[in-house]
Amino acid sequence: MRVARARYKNWNRADLTYAELDEGTAVAGVFTQSACASSEVEMGREQVKSGSARALVVNAGNSNAFTGYRGREAVEQIMQQVAEHLGCDTSEVFVSSTGVIGVPLPKDKARDGVAAALSAEPCSWEDAASAISTTDTFAKGAHASAMIGGQRVELVGIIKGSGMIAPDMATMLGYIFTDAAVEPALLQQMLSTANRETFSCITVDGDTSTSDTVLAFATGKAGNAPLASFDDTGADAFAAALTDVCRQLAQLVVRDGEGASKFITIRVTGAASDESAHRVALSIANSPLVKTAIAGEDANWGRVVMAVGKAGEPADRDKLSIAFGGTWTARDGLPVEGYDEAPVAAHLKGAQIDIAVDLGIGEGRATVWTCDLTHGYISINADYRS
Amino acid sequence: MRVARARYKNWNRADLTYAELDEGTAVAGVFTQSACASSEVEMGREQVKSGSARALVVNAGNSNAFTGYRGREAVEQIMQQVAEHLGCDTSEVFVSSTGVIGVPLPKDKARDGVAAALSAEPCSWEDAASAISTTDTFAKGAHASAMIGGQRVELVGIIKGSGMIAPDMATMLGYIFTDAAVEPALLQQMLSTANRETFSCITVDGDTSTSDTVLAFATGKAGNAPLASFDDTGADAFAAALTDVCRQLAQLVVRDGEGASKFITIRVTGAASDESAHRVALSIANSPLVKTAIAGEDANWGRVVMAVGKAGEPADRDKLSIAFGGTWTARDGLPVEGYDEAPVAAHLKGAQIDIAVDLGIGEGRATVWTCDLTHGYISINADYRS
C-alpha cells in the first residue's frame, strides 16, 4: 500500500491510496444499489466481471458522484495512468472515490497524486485506512486467517464510513486483501454471502451512499491449491474467515457512527421469515425515536412497538415481546408487571445495548447493528459544508 | 365541545375532550396501518362501518396502545358511560387516546374525567385543540366553508401531533366537524381521497404512530339536500373544502414538528408515476442528511441526489435536476456551472424552504411537506420519559 497527498480538499493529510496487486489476483465486489451511483461504481461493477485486478486507487475528500461525463473522464485518466505504469489492462485498475457529491474529481490533482503514490514508499495498513477516511474518527481495519489444505492464508481488510450508512442493499468503502488462491466466481459468491450477513446488517442513519463499494482481492501468493467451489477442502474455513473480517469491518463502521455514543445490537426472532425479521430489525434500527430513546438511556419499549408496527411486515401485537439487556419488559403484547427495572437501567447506561424482539409468529430471525442518535449527529451534519 | 381534567399525567391542564354530536350525524375515518395499532384504532375501524356517530372522547397523555385486554376494557367502559348518558348505541361513541405507549388507560381516572366532561360548560375549538395535544407547542385548527345547492355549510377541524409523524399510510389524531348533510359512504370516499393528498403527504421523523386516526363528522344541521354521490350539486365544492381543511391541518402538524425550525416543501416532477414521485419525495423528506443540511442552511443538493438514489424508484442520474427556492443548482445530472448562489443562500436562511426535483423520465408528480432535523428534536426525544 502507498499513500500520497492529492489535496482533494484543503487539508494536510494523505488522501490518495494506491495498492498494487500481484499478477493473477482474483477480484470480487459488491456495490450500492443506488439509482444515482457514481461513475466509479458503474465502472467497478463492469470490471469485476472479468475477475482480474492489478491495482486499486482510492480518492478521499471527493466522491466524484453526480458529475456526469467529466467525472467519468477523471476515473478513466487514473485507470490509464496506472495501467501504463504496470503494463496491464485498464480494466484491471479499480478506482473508488468518497467525499462531497457533485464536484468533478479534479484531473490535475488526481494525476499528480497518482504519480506521487506510484513512487512513494510502502506504508502500513493503518496509514492506508487513514488515507481512505473522511468523517471517520479512527482508522478501521480487521484481520483473520484460515487453513486451506494445510496452507495458512491471511485476510486483511480496511474500511471507511460513519455517515450516509444504510447499506441495506450493499456497503460503504471497504477493501479486503488475501494471499489465498480463490477463483473469482467463488470469491464473488463468498463475498456476496458475507455481505448479506454483515454490511447489509448495519445502519447509522438510513441514508444510502451513492458510492458504496466493497472489493475483495485474492493474490494467490499463499500457494494453496486454488479454491474453485464450496466443496473444496478449506473453502468453508476461508468463507468463515472472510465473513469474520467483513463483520469486524461492518461493526467498526457502526461504532464510528456520526455522533454515536452507544453500539446497539437488535435481534429479532419469531418472525414470518428471515427476510421479514431483517426488515423489522432495520425498521427499529432506523427509527429516530428508538435511537434518541437509547441516547437518553430510556427503556422506551413503546417506541420499539411503534417501529415494529410501521415495518409493514407480519406481526401480531398480542404476541410481541421485547427485552433490553436480557430483561423482558413486555411479553405477549402486555407490559411485564413489576419487572426489575434496575438491571435494565444499568444496561442502558452502558455503551453496548442489546434489544431483543420476539414476534412470536414464526421461525424467522435476524440481527442488525446500529448506533444511537445524538446531538453529535446534528452538529456534524448541520455544519458540514457541501 | 367540552373538556375536563382526567389527570392522565401529572399535569395541570385539561386532557379529556368530549364532543356531543347531533342525532343522524354521519361519520367517516382513516386510521394507521400499523400492525401494532391500539384498541381505539381497532374498534374505531369497526365503528365507522355503521356510518353513524353521537359522541367523541379523546384522551391525552396516554395512548393506551400495546396494553392488551386491559386497554380494551378501558375503552369499552368509556363507550358505555357515554352511551348511557346519551341513550345511544355504544358503537356510536368514538374514542381516541394519545401519549405514552404501554400503560393501560386508568379506568378510574377515565370514569371521573368523562363524568366531569359530561357536566362541563361548552368550550371553544381552541380549548379542545389544546386538550387533545401532547408535545404540540400550539393548538391547531382549520376552517373552510362550501356552498351546496344554495346552502352554505361550514367545516371545522382540530388536530394534534408533532412527533412520531409519518402518516405514509394514514394520519395522526385529527377531527373534522361539519354541519353539512353527507351520506356516510360518500363522506368516507371524500375523506380517503383528501387523506391521500394531505395527511399522507407529511412526515416529521418517518416514525408511524400506533394510534393515528382522522375522523370526519357531518351533523346535517345546515339543512342542505344530503350529498350521496360525487355527481350531486355541491359535492365538488364540499370535497374541495374538506381537502382544504385537511391540508391546513396536515401542514400545521409539520410546522409544529418536534424541534422544527423550517417548513420544507418538496415537489417531485418527471417521475415514472405519481406513486413513484410520492415515494421519491418521502425518501428525500425522511433523509436525516437532507433534513440536517436544511437545518444548517446548506444547499447540499448532493444529499438530495443520495435520497433520490436510495428511494428504490426508477431514476436516471443523468436526467436529474434539483432546485432550491426556484434556482436550479443541478441540471440533467450535472452541477449548474456558476449558478448564482446568492438567492439560494438567501432562500435557505428563510423559514419556508422549497426543494424541487425533476427526474426527467415521465409525467408523475407529487408534493410532500416536512421540517428540518435539529438539536431540538434530539433534546425532546432523548429526554422524554417512557
Provide the b/e sequence for B339-375 (b: ≥16 CB within 10 Å): beeeebeebbeeeebbbbbbbbbeebbbebbbbbbbb
Tell me the per-residue pLDDT of B150-203, one tens digit each, with 9 for 90 and over. Answer: 888 998 888 887 666 554 333 467 788 899 999 999 999 898 888 888 887 777
Q: Report in angstroms the alpha-carbon separations of A23 from A55, A88, A186, A218.
A: 10, 9, 18, 10
Nearest to A386 among B32, B295, B298 (CB): B298
Tell me the per-residue pLDDT of A273-297, one tens digit each, with 9 for 90 and over. Answer: 999 999 899 899 988 889 999 999 9
Q: Which of residues 126-155 of A touch B (CB under 8 A)?
A: none
| Model pLDDT, residue B384 | 55
Residue B382 to residue A209, Cβ atoms within 8 A: no
Q: Which of A67, A171, A178, A374 is catalytic?
A: A171
Say if residues B28 and B191 touch (Cβ distance below 8 Å): yes
**Nearest-angstrom CA–CA distance, B236 and B124:** 29
| Model pLDDT, residue B386 | 45
DSSP H helices in A59-218: 68-86, 107-118, 125-131, 184-197
DSSP A123: -
Kindly report the average pLDDT of chain B as a whole number: 87
Interface probe, candidates A41, A103, A169, A289, chain B, greatest B C-beta count within 10 A: A289
Nearest alpha carbon to residue A73 among A47, A95, A51, A45: A95
pLDDT surpasses 80 at B385 = no
| Model pLDDT, residue B170 | 34
Query: Which carries the bigger pLDDT value, residue A19 or residue B168?
Result: A19
- Percent of all residues in chain A with a pLDDT value above 70, rounded to a whole number: 95
Nearest to A206 among B102, B288, B296 (CB): B288
Query: Which carries the bigger pLDDT value, residue A174 or residue A347?
Result: A347
- Percent of all residues in chain A with a pLDDT value above 90, rounded to a whole number: 43
- B34–chain A Cβ distance below 8 A for any pair: yes
pLDDT surpasses 90 at B289 = no
| Count of helix runs (H) and strand runs (E) in chain B | 11, 14
- Residue A250 C-alpha cell reads as 461492518
| Model pLDDT, residue B165 | 59
Please state the rounded mean pLDDT for residues A140-148: 86
Nearest alpha carbon to residue A179 among A96, A93, A89, A241: A241
Please state the rounded mean pLDDT for residues A1-8: 95
At residue B163, φ and ψ (nearest 5 deg) are -130, 170
**Cα-to-chain-centroid distance, residue B117:** 25
The residue assigned the cell 388507560 is B105
pLDDT surpasses 80 at A33 = no
pLDDT surpasses 70 at B93 = yes
- A42–chain B Cβ distance below 8 A for any pair: no
Closest residue on chain B to A211 (Cα) = B306
**Nearest-angstrom CA–CA distance, B19 and B157:** 13
ipTM over 0.90? The verdict is no
Query: Which carries the bigger pLDDT value, residue A331 or residue B33?
Result: A331
pLDDT surpasses 90 at B108 = yes
Model pTM score? 0.75
| Model pLDDT, residue A163 | 61
Q: Which of residues 88-107 of A touch B (CB under 8 A)?
A: 100-103
Say if residues A41 and A209 touch (Cβ distance below 8 Å): no
Say if residues B182 and B278 touch (Cβ distance below 8 Å): no
| Model pLDDT, residue B316 | 87
- Residue A57 C-alpha cell reads as 486507487
| Model pLDDT, residue B245 | 87
Burial class (CB in 10 A: 0-12, 13-18, 19+), A360: middle
- A200–chain B Cβ distance below 8 A for any pair: no
Half-sphere exposure of B12 (CA within 13 A, CB side): 0
| Model pLDDT, residue A207 | 67
pLDDT surpasses 90 at B356 = yes
Say if residues B66 and B36 touch (Cβ distance below 8 Å): yes
pLDDT surpasses 60 at A47 = yes
Contacts of A375 in chain B (CB under 8 A): 375, 378-379
Max mean pLDDT range (A7-11, A382-386, B114-118): B114-118
Identify whether A171 is a catalytic site residue.
Answer: yes
The residue assigned the cell 455514543 is A261
Please state the rounded mean pLDDT for residues A193-221: 78
- B315–chain A Cβ distance below 8 A for any pair: yes
Q: How confident is the model at residue A170 (pLDDT cuts 50, 70, 90)?
A: very low
Kindly report the average pLDDT of chain A as a whole number: 87
Closest residue on chain A to B300 (Cα) = A386
Tell me the per-residue pLDDT of B233-277, one tens digit each, with 9 for 90 and over. Answer: 999 999 999 998 888 888 888 888 888 889 999 999 999 999 999
Contacts of B37 in chain A (CB under 8 A): 309, 317
- Residue A328 C-alpha cell reads as 423482558
**Nearest-angstrom CA–CA distance, A72 and A43:** 9
Contacts of B289 in chain A (CB under 8 A): 163-164, 205, 207, 381
Q: How far is A281 from chain B (nearest CA, A)?
A: 14
pLDDT surpasses 90 at B139 = no
